[in-house]
Chains A and B, each alone.
Chain A
Amino acid sequence: MTEVERHNYDVVVIGAGGAGLRAVIEARQRGLSVAVVCKSLFGKAHTVMAEGGCAASMGNANSHDNWQVHFRDTMRGGKFLNNWRMAELHAKEAPDRVWELETYGALFDRTPDGRISQRNFGGHTYPRLAHVGDRTGLELIRTMQQKIVSLQQEDYRRYGDYEAKLRVFAECTVTELIKEDGHIAGAFGYWRESGRFVLFETPAVVLATGGIGKSFKVTSNSWEYTGDGHALALRAGAGLINMEFVQFHPTGMVWPPSVKGILVTEGVRGDGGVLKNAEGERFMFRYIPDVFKGQYADSEEEADRWYSDQEGNRRTPDLLPRDEVARAINTEVKEGRGSEHGGMFLDIASRLPTEEIRKRLPSMYHQFRELADVDITAEPMEVGPTCHYVMGGIEVDPDTAAATVPGIFAAGECSGGMHGSNRLGGNSLSDLLVFGRRAGLGAAEYVESLGARPSVPDAEVTAAAKRALAPFDGPEDGTSAENPYTLHTELQQTMNELVGIIRKADEIEKAIDKLAEIRSRIRGVTVEGNRQYNPGWHLAVDLRNMLLVSECVARAALRRTESRGGHTRDDYPQLDAQWRNRLLVCQTTGDEPVPEVDVEAREQQPMRADLLELFELSELEKYYTEDELAGHPERTA
């Protein structure tokens, strides 16, 4: 039998970003024993990098804001494909979740009357993002990390052991979920440090593993974003939805090459920065799409007035939802109006005094000065699109965050539905808090309702260990040895070039062929060295997940013959109302580490009437089919 360290918990949370930590807090406060597992050190998850802020309609900066406005903005941003129940819960609960952080010790920037300050962001009608300069994610993660420490301190006082009921397993990677009779029974993984195996026996796992950006070459995401949660869920039998929707953030760094893709926060535009092409033109005015006509300023003068007077003016098109801005930049560059390094200019220097820039955007100032020798208080930044966020993810029940497999819960970026076809900036951090909490609760209730707990079959453990160690065995018969770094580069290149920001049927098909080739070569992946902290081996294991989610993205992208949000088809450039309510669900069959992906179309539940009535009929007509609107009160009246 394989040597494995065993642990037993009520709930195991996989991922220590915002979603995971909030789930841990909730489940522990319900009295359960909880483990949290993460690939990096504690406190280093992706959430730490979030800059701009966390959206919640507290109404501190503009008292007209409320959950209904936030809900409407979110649905518009996602082009009405969002799971409306998730968008509703999110808009309603976000303020409470932010205020709660203050009771854990968070220190957000303040308004003059001492409340939490809120800033403008793309697609949000009012200033809505709670923030701390441009390091909001750091504040969120540190606050929750410290809350977890405080729960451990309570346990210490009670049981004499900090880890009596809540333990962090840092630098530990989960590679398999184990089931018994269709129910989750455990999770299997390895310690990165020693390479030794660990088994968590648990009836409930919360997946909070974040995104998939490492499948793309130009990305704002770190090495952790290999789609592990997506792949774990698929292989355990759960479905992924909306995988064709990948967000390319319009403003990543483009120069020098080594920093290409690193994010430039939307807060730059929220605070007054504007986009210009190489001719010095503020080109965004030419790119207001029909569905947003009338909601955005059509002259520079009006746009500039809007920053100080939001009642009398419409917002600047620099702050259109991200998909629109990213496409606009792409077009400008293609048509020859790009900067020297193939980007656009983002100018804050001529818009705000030096002092103000350094105060509001300290980490952008630092980042450009240190990494690009650019002083953003004196010169414009060069920016271009970068793969940033995946809207697609594990299909969950909106209220409980339960996936379709009993015992799996999911929250945060690895779950799907909330953001529809495109996420608004700032809506992720709030999503983490709202649904992280709900997942913790959902898991707790599930565990409490269970009679007997499923047990982990030994054979599964042996098989899991064998799969994890395969890269040390050398190439399988009939394959030749492959270097994981080389295969990874080829995968990234393929996705970036063929299933990137603008897509076409023949290119996607080419990508699918290339992925098939990588699939056959992946069995030959061979690593050197031993199991102790071996990044080559870690990559070899993660690579399977990247390939699996890439297949989901490519296959779903081929199926959706329209353009919407984070999915743009050159050969089907229009929004198609027939597609609006249709979800593409990815599932897999077989027990392989990289099983075959199957895509199926399915209708979503129509929006509840009271929510639908929050929109003007004239707006809905831009998105909905005639049949769908037949029952609308404005029609029937």
Chain B
Amino acid sequence: MAYQAKLRVWRGDATAGELQDFEVEANEGEVVLDLIHRLQATQAPDLAVRWNCKAGKCGSCSAEVNGKPKLLCMTRMSTFAEDEVISVTPMRTFPVIRDLVTDVSYNYTKAREIPAFTPPEGLEPGEYRMQQVDVERSQEFRKCIECFLCQDTCHVIRDHEENKESFAGPRFLMRVAELEMHPLDAGDRVEAAQSAHGLGYCNITKCCTEVCPEGIQITDNALIPMKERVADRRYDPIVWLGNKIFKRNGA
């Protein structure tokens, strides 16, 4: 059942690089990451790749397989024909460090720009009460393993370096939505979603949702509802004013 698979792997660094062809053994049940590891052990000891859990839980092994954003540890070899040449390349949206490893610091920068959970006043630890139905919406977003594949695929930044400054990307717009929908978060996040995190750039193409390995409905459940809240707020000056006053009093 073992066969020689054909892999075309991008190798290089920030300055230059190229696709290199390899033939490497593939066995029953294996995933692309297994083959990359076999390459390291037998032919290319310094081939750079990130991984940790090998079970789709940590979001480290993100790359592009035949041009599609994928987790290498969850991409089964059985999904390809045995004679197919499989290309493995680094995520395109982020600068290459080496081989399949990219500089994903953009994501950590964006994470830091989103104001943290704001605990409700007057509740001590142990006094939080929330219903399961109410936490479920945010729980869906908290399944995110931060693989950044959605960020990689989103056309707003995929070939538009210039938009990175003002666009947080689907992962972090979803974080805003998560906090907004948290039953006990005391912050107000609607206005900033648009003005600070670039929600307006998103034209709901759903590409992010399609690549999410956790199957999170990023567009339908996070981005569109946030857009609706922004729209409601903007068209309803009373609500907007009310919020302003509330904020000022609360501060």
Contact = CB atoms under 8 A, between A and B. Distances in A.
Contact of B27 (A103, A104, A258): A258
Nearest to B128: A102
Given A222-B54, A256-B30, A527 B116 contact: no
A142 B115 CA distance: 15
Given A105-B116, A485-B40, A49 B143 contact: no
Residue among B27, B57, B119, B131 having the largest count of chain A Cβ atoms under 10 Å: B57
Contact of B40 (A102, A109, A153, A536): A536
Interface stretch (B41-49, B204-212, B235-243): B41-49
A259 B37 CA distance: 13
Interface in A212-253: 222-224
A266 to B, nearest CB: 16
A255 B29 contact: yes
A71 to B, nearest CB: 20
Q: Which of B28, B29, B56 has the most C-beta atoms of chain A within 10 angstroms of its own C-beta?
A: B29
Given A138-B57, A153-B112, A370-B74, A527 B46 contact: yes
A142 B142 contact: yes
Interface residues of B, number: 57
A371 interface: yes
Contact of B45 (A58, A109, A256, A528): A528
Given A528-B46, A533-B99, A105 B56 contact: no
A115 B115 contact: no
Interface stretch (B80-88, B132-140, B156-164, B222-230): B132-140
Contacts of A529: 45-46
A222 B52 contact: yes
A132 B139 contact: yes
B185 interface: yes
B188 interface: no
Contact of B50 (A40, A138, A149): A40
B197 to A, nearest CB: 15
B117 to A, nearest CB: 3
A42 interface: yes
Interface in B164-221: 179, 182, 185
B143 A138 contact: yes
A276 B43 CA distance: 43
Interface string B21-41: 000000111110010000011
Nearest to B71: A370
B53 interface: yes
Contact of A150 (B45, B60, B117): B117
A629 interface: no
Interface stretch (A93-101, A309-317, A516-524): A93-101
Contacts of B13: 532
Nearest to B98: A533
Contacts of A117: 132
A44 B58 contact: yes
B116 A107 contact: no
Contacts of A120: none
A535 B115 contact: no
Contacts of B51: 222-223
A549 B138 CA distance: 42
A413 to B, nearest CB: 15
A113 interface: yes
B145 to A, nearest CB: 7
Contacts of A112: 132
A396 B45 CA distance: 38
Contacts of B126: 58, 95-96, 99
A383 B48 CA distance: 32
Interface string A111-137: 011110100000000000000110100
A207 interface: no
A44 B34 contact: no
A259 B52 contact: no
Nearest to A107: B135
A372 interface: yes
Contacts of A438: none
Contact of B53 (A96, A100, A114, A222): A222
Nearest to A150: B116
A529 B45 CA distance: 8
Interface in A354-390: 363, 366-367, 370-372
A232 to B, nearest CB: 21
A255 B34 CA distance: 14
A147 B27 contact: no
15 contacts: A41-B60, A44-B58, A115-B129, A117-B132, A133-B139, A135-B143, A142-B142, A222-B51, A222-B54, A222-B58, A484-B45, A485-B40, A489-B41, A532-B13, A535-B47
The 10 A-B pairs at the shortest CB distance, nearest first, are namely: A256-B29, A105-B117, A150-B116, A529-B46, A114-B129, A536-B45, A99-B125, A533-B48, A99-B126, A485-B41
Interface of B: 13, 27-31, 34, 40-41, 45-60, 74, 76, 97-99, 101, 104, 108, 111-112, 115-117, 119, 125-126, 128-132, 135, 138-139, 142-146, 179, 182, 185
Given A193-B98, A255-B29, A371-B74, 19 more contacts: A40-B52, A40-B58, A48-B53, A48-B145, A96-B126, A102-B128, A105-B119, A107-B135, A107-B182, A146-B116, A149-B111, A222-B54, A258-B31, A259-B54, A262-B54, A263-B55, A370-B56, A484-B45, A534-B48
